[in-house]
Structure 1
Amino acid sequence: MRRSPLFSGVIYLLLGILFTYFAVQNVRDDGWGFFTYMLVFLATLDFGSGLRMIMIHFKIKKQINNKK
């Protein structure tokens, strides 16, 4: 069974929020270090992927509706 791009996009956005939360907590506890930068980088990738997947979902939906 294939997942829809919308579902994948939401999962990526949730992971981005989770990584952002962990990065904020890490800055509060230990300051800016390598691990914090890695968490911010992962959050950025997840937010970008999530937004791209959601946009793909709506493009596919629009193309299907235009064919009808």
Structure 2
Amino acid sequence: MRQSPLFSGIIYIFLGTLFTFFAIQNINEDGGWGFFTILLIILATFDFGSGIRMILFHFQLKRQQTKK
């Protein structure tokens, strides 16, 4: 069974939020921007971008299916 792009997009947005939360916690504990914090922010950025792209793709597919 395949997952819909909407579900995958929501999972990606959730992961991006989780990575952002961990990055903020890491900054508060260590008091600065280290390698791990920057890595978490990069992962969150990719996840947010992928999530938005998947959600937009879902709505594009739905629009094409209703035109047929």
- TM-score, normalised by the number of residues in structure 2: 0.97
Per-residue deviation, 1:39:
0.1
Gap runs ≥5 in structure 1? none
User: Does residue 62 of the first structure (1) align with residue 28 of the second (2)?
Assistant: no
CA RMSD of aligned residues (A): 0.3
Q: Tell me the number of residue pairs that the alignment of Structure 1 and Structure 2 aligns.
A: 67
Distance 1:43 1:33 in 2: 16
Residue pairs, 1:1-68, within 5 angstroms: 1-30=1-30, 31-67=32-68
- TM-score, normalised by the number of residues in structure 1: 0.97
User: Identity rate of aligned residues, in percent?
Assistant: 64
Gap runs ≥5 in structure 2? none
Per-residue deviation, 1:28:
0.6
